[in-house]
Structure 1
Amino acid sequence: MISSLPLHPDRDLLAGELHARPPLPLATPVAISRLAQLRDAGADRGAAVAHLATLCRRYGVTPPDAGADFVMADFGRFTLRYERHTEFDGWTFLRPGPDGAAPDPFEGPAIGAVPTDWLAELPGRTLVAAHVAILRSEGEDAPPPPGCFAPDNLAGSSLSAGAATAWTDFRPGPDGFTRILLQDHGMTAALAGRLAQALWEVETYRLLALLALPQARACGPELARASASLAALAAKLPGLQALEAERDALEQLTGLATTIERLAAGTADRFSASRAYHVLVGRRLQSLREERLHGLPTLADYLERRLDPAIATVEATGARIATLSTRCARAVDLLRARVAVAQEAQTQKLLGAMAETGRAQLRLQETVEGLSVAGISYYVLSLAGYALKPLPWGGWLKAEAVLAALVPVVAGLVWVQMRRRRRRG
C-alpha cells in the first residue's frame, strides 16, 4: 500500500532518526568503557567506520557499511557500540563485570579486552574517557566500596524511584578514566540500559559543553582591550573638528570592529554548540529522576554548582562580544555620518570654486573672442584694401568708402563663424 504513495525522499531517514542510537538492554553485572573522539576540522567522517572495519576483519566479524552512523558488534570477549555524531565519534565497550562482592568494581574495565594497538590508532582526539560499572546491590543505602571515589567530591543519588543508585566524583581515576558506579536494586535490563546510557551521555555532553570555556577565557583580555579602546575613541569623537582627525578615528574604529568581528566569527559555532550540549546535559539528568541520598549532592546539584558557572562564563563572553560589536557598529556609523557631512561641505566649496573659475574662464573666453573678431576683421579688411585700392575709382566712390562699408559686414561674419565653431566644439 505504502509503495503506491508519493513518498518524500527523506521519509525513511527522518523516521529512523528516533531509533538511530537505541539503548542497549544490559544484564547486571556489566563493565562499560566509554570514549568520545573529537574529530579534527576537515577530517574524514568515514575514518572511524573504516578503522572499525579493520577490527571486524581481525576478529572475523562482518564489517559495517562505509556510511554507517550506528554499529553494534559482538567480538566475543567484548561488545562494541559505535555512534557517529556531528563533531565526535562515540565508542562504547561492554563486557560482563565483577559481582557485587568484588573489592574494586573498576578492576577489570571493558576497554581492557580491546587490542591496545587498535585503540592507539583511533581517529580523532580523546575528549571523554569514562568507566561505568553496574553491580547488583541488595541495600539502597550501601555506600560505594572504599577507594573508588574522592570523598570530598562524591555525588550520589537514587534513580528511577529507587531502582538504582548512582555514584561518581566526576574526576579521572588513576587510569585517566572518570568512574561512575551504578548499583542495581532490581532494575530490568531495559532500564539498566537506559540509565547507563543517560549516565555516559551526561559525562560526554558535559565535557563537550565545556569545550567553549578555554576559548571564552582566552577572549577575555582581548575583549577588555577592545572595550577600553572603544570607550577612549567614543570619548574623543565629540571633540574632533578636522576632517583628517575624523578619518583617522574612523580608521581606528574600523580596525577595532574587524577585531571584534574576528572574535565573533571564531567563537560563534563553539559557543552555540556549548549551549546545545548544556541543554542535553540537563535533559539527561531529568531522565534519571534523581532523589537525594545520604545528604550528598545529587548529580544535578553537583553539575549545577560546577558546570553552570562555566557555561555562564561562556554565555557572558558571547553576550559581551555581541554588545561590543553593536557599540562599535554604532560608533562607526556615527563617525561615517560626520565624515560624510564634512566631505559634502568640502565638496560644495570645491564645486563653488570650480563654478567661479568657470565663470572667469567664460569671461576670459568672451574677451578673447572679441579681440579675435577684431583682429581677424582687421586682417581681412587689410587684404581687401590691398585688392581694392589699385582699382580705378571715379567720383565719390572710392576704395576707402567701400572698406568702411565692409567693416561691419566682415566683423559680423567673423563673429558668426566663431560662434558656430564654438558650438560644434
Structure 2
Amino acid sequence: MIQNLPLHPDRDLLAGELHARPPLPLATPVTISRLACLAEPGATKGTAIEHLAMLCRRYGVTPPAPGADFWIGDFGRFSLRYERHTEFDGWTFFRPGPDSGAPDPFDETAIEAVPTDWLAALPGRTLVASHIAVLRTQGEDEPPPPGCFVPDNLAGANLSAGAATCWTDFRLGADGFTRLLLQDHGMTPATAGRLAQALWEIETYRMLALLALPAARTATAELTRASERLAAIAGRLPGLSELEEERAALEELTDLATGIEQQAAVTADRFSAGRAYHALVGRRLQVLREQRLHGVPTLTEYLERRLDPAMATVDAARNRIQTLSTRCARAVELLRARVAVAQEEQTQRLLAAMADTGRAQLRLQETVEGLSVAAISYYVLSLLGYAIKPFEFGGWLRGEMIVAVLVPVIAAIVWTRMRRRRIKPSLL
C-alpha cells in the first residue's frame, strides 16, 4: 500500500536514524576495548571501510558494504563493532572476559586478540582508548580489585537501580588506555549492552569535548595580547590631532580587528563541537541512573568537578572573542567617524581656498578685460583716425571731432563683443 504513495527521498534514512548504532546485548563476563580515531584532514570516507575490509579478508568474514557507517562482525576470538561519526571512527572490540575471581579483570583485554599490524595501520589519529571489563559479582558494592585504579582518583556509583556498579579513575594506564569496571549484579544482556555503550560514549565524548581546551588556551593568550594592544590604541585616541596620525591608528585598529576575526574563524567550529559533545556527556550520564556509593564521588560528580571547569574555560574564550571583537569594531567606527570629520574639514578648507583663488582670478580677469577694452578701442580709433584725417570736411566738422564722437561707440562695441565671448563658453 505504501508503495503507491509519493515518498520523500530521505524517508527511509530518517526513519532508520532512531535505530542507528543500537546497543548490543552482552553476556557477562565480557571485556571491551574501545578506540576512537580522528580522521586525518582530507581523508576520504571510505578509508576506514577499506581498512576494515582487509581485516575481514584475513579472517574470511564478509566485509561491509562500501560507504557503510555501521557494521558488526564476529572474528572468532573477538567481535568488532565499527561506527562512522562526523569527525571520528569508533572501533569497539569484544571478547569473553575472565571470571569474577580473576585478580586483575584487565589482565586479558579484547584488543590483545586483534592483529597488531592491522591496529598499527588504523587510519586517523587515536584520541580515545579505553578498556571496559564487565564481571559478575556475588554481592553489591563490592570494591574493585586492588591495583586496578588509583584510590585517590576513584569514582563509582550504582547504576540502573542497583543492577550494576561502575568503578573508574579516568586515568591513562601503562598501556595508554583508561579503565572502567562494570560489576554485574543481575543485569540482563540488553541492560549490560546499554550501560557499556553509555560508558564508552561518555569516555569518547568527554575527550572530544576537551579537544576545545587547547584551542581555548591558545586563543586566550592571543586575546590577552590583542586586548592590551586595543587598550593602548584606545588610550592614544584622545591625543591624536593630525589626520595622518588618525589614519595610522585606524590602520592599526583594522589590522587588530582582522586578527580577532581570524581567531574567531579558527576556533568557532571547535568551540561549538566542544559544547555539543559536552551536552552528549551529560545525556549519557543520565542514562546510567546513578546512585551514590559511600565514600566516593559518582561519575557525574567527578566529571562535573573536572570537565565543567574546562568547558567553562572554552566558553570564556568564546565570549572573550565576541566581546573583544565588539570592542574593536566600536573603536574602529569611532576612529572612522573622527577621520571622516577631519577629512570633511580639510575638504572645506580646500574648497574655501579654491573659492578665494576663483575670486582672485575673476578680479584679475575683469581687470584684464578692462585693459583689453581700452587697448582695443585705442587701436581701433587710431586706425579710424588715420582713415578719416586725409578727408577734408567743410565748416566746423573736423576729423578729430568725428573720432571723439566715436570713442564711446567703439568702446561699447568692444566691451559688448568681449562680454559675449565670455558668456558663451560658460553656457557651453
- Please give the residue correspondences for 1:399-418 in structure 2 after superposition, counting only pairs within 5 Å: 404-405=405-406, 407-408=410-411, 410-412=413-415, 414-418=417-421
Further displaced range: 101-110 or 202-211: 101-110
User: 5 Å matches for 1:260-279?
Assistant: 260-279=260-279
Matched, 1:310 2:310: yes
- Report deviation, 1:356: 1.6
Looking at structure 1, the residues matched to 136 and 380 of structure 2 have their Cα atoms a distance apart, in angstroms, of 130
Residue number in structure 2 paired with 1:20 = 20
Find the aligned partners of 1:374 and 1:231 in 2 and give their Cα distance: 71
Asked if the contact 1:77–1:95 (Cα under 8 Å) also holds between the matched residues in 2, the reply is yes
Q: CA deviation at 1:380?
A: 4.6
CA pair 384-94 structure 1, distance change in 2 beyond 3 A: farther
Q: Structure 1 CA distance, aligned partners of 2:412 and 2:309?
A: 102
Q: Percent identity?
A: 72
Aligned residue identity for 2:214: P
Please state how far the C-alpha of 1:163 moved relative to its aligned partner. 0.6
Change (3 A) 1:379 1:80: farther
Letter aligned with residue 418 of structure 2: W
Pick closer, same or farther for the CA change 1:108–1:356 going to 2, 3 Å: same
- Verify: 1:395 aligned to 2:382, yes or no: no
Question: Kindly tell me: are residues 325 and 417 of structure 1, through their superposed partners in 2, closer, same or farther at Cα, counting changes over 3 Å?
Answer: closer
Provide the residue aligned with 1:62 in structure 2. Answer: 62
1:120 counterpart = 2:120:
yes
Determine if contact 2:393/2:399 at 8 Å carries over to the other structure: no
Deviation (angstroms), 1:41: 2.9
Secondary structure in structure 2 of the residue aligned to 1:82: strand
Structure 1 residues 16-415: aligned runs within 5 Å: 16-383=16-383, 388-389=387-388, 392=391, 394-395=393-394, 404-405=405-406, 407-408=410-411, 410-412=413-415, 414-415=417-418
Q: SS where residue 58 of structure 1 aligns? A: helix
Secondary structure at the counterpart of residue 6 of structure 1: coil
Q: Offset of 1:206 from its aligned partner?
A: 0.6
Distance of 2:398 and 2:416 partners within structure 1:
23
- Are 1:419 and 2:418 counterparts? no
Cα distance change of structure 1 residues 7 and 382 upon mapping to structure 2, 3 Å threshold: farther
CA distance in 2, matches of 1:43, 1:377: 95
Deviation track 1:233-264 (CA, whole Å, cap 9, x = no partner) reads 32333333333333333233222222222222
Counterparts in 2 of 1:423 and 1:223: CA distance versus 1, 3 Å: closer
Mapped to 1, the partners of 2:72 and 2:402 lie a distance apart of 124
Task: Quote the offset at 1:39 in angstroms.
Answer: 1.5
Structure 1 21/419 Cα, relative in aligned 2: closer, same or farther at 3 Å? same
1:307-348 per-position Cα deviation (integer Å, ceiling 9, x unaligned): 111111111121122211112222222222222222212221
Q: Which amino acid aligns with 1:257?
A: A
Query: Which segment drifts farther, 22-31 or 245-254?
Result: 245-254
Distance 1:115 1:190 in 2: 29
What do residues 353-396 of structure 1 show as CA deviations (whole Å, max 9, x unaligned)? 1122122222222333333344444445555556x348755436
> Which whole-Å CA distance do the structure 2 matches of 1:212 and 1:372 have between them?
86
Gaps of 5+ in 1: none
**Partner Cα distance (1:12, 1:49) in 2:** 23
Residues 380 and 410 of structure 2 are in contact (CA less than 8 Å); yes or no, is this contact kept in structure 1?
no
1:9 maps to 9
Question: Aligned-pair RMSD on alpha carbons?
Answer: 2.2
How far is the alpha carbon of 1:219 from its aligned partner?
2.4
Cα separation, partners in 2 of 1:415 and 1:143, compared to 1, 3 Å: same
Q: Is the 8 A contact 1:381 1:410 kept in 2?
A: no
Per-residue deviation, residues 170-192 of structure 1 (Å, max 9, x unmatched): 11112111111111111111111
Instruction: Indicate how the Cα distance of structure 1 residues 141 and 413 shifts in structure 2: closer, same or farther if over 3 A, else same.
Output: closer
User: What's the offset of the Cα at 1:400?
Assistant: 5.2
Under a length normalisation based on structure 2, what TM-score does the superposition of the two structures give? 0.92
- Change in Cα spacing, 1:89 to 1:402, as seen in structure 2 (3 Å) is farther
- Contact kept, 8 Å, 1:373 with 1:414, in 2: the verdict is no
For the residue of structure 2 that corresponds to 1:172, the secondary structure is coil
CA, structure 1 residues 10+423, in 2 after alignment: closer, same or farther (shift >3 Å)? same
- Contact 1:376 1:414 (8 Å CA) reproduced: no
Deviates most, 1-10 or 321-330: 1-10
Q: CA deviation at 1:80?
A: 1.2
**Number of residue pairs matched?**
424
> For 2:87 and 2:290, how far apart are their aligned partners in 1?
29
Other structure's SS at 1:135 match:
strand
Shift of the 65–371 alpha-carbon distance from structure 1 to 2, 3 Å rule, reads farther
Structure-2 separation of matches of 1:9 and 1:258: 43
> What SS class does the counterpart of residue 90 from structure 1 fall into?
strand
CA distance in 1, matches of 2:20, 2:338: 58
More divergent stretch after superposition (359-368 vs 97-106): 359-368
What amino acid is aligned across from residue 414 of structure 2 in structure 1? A
Amino acid in the other structure paired with 1:201: E
2:120 and 2:330 map into 1 onto residues whose CA distance is 52
Is the CA contact 2:83–2:90 (under 8 Å) kept in the aligned structure 1? yes
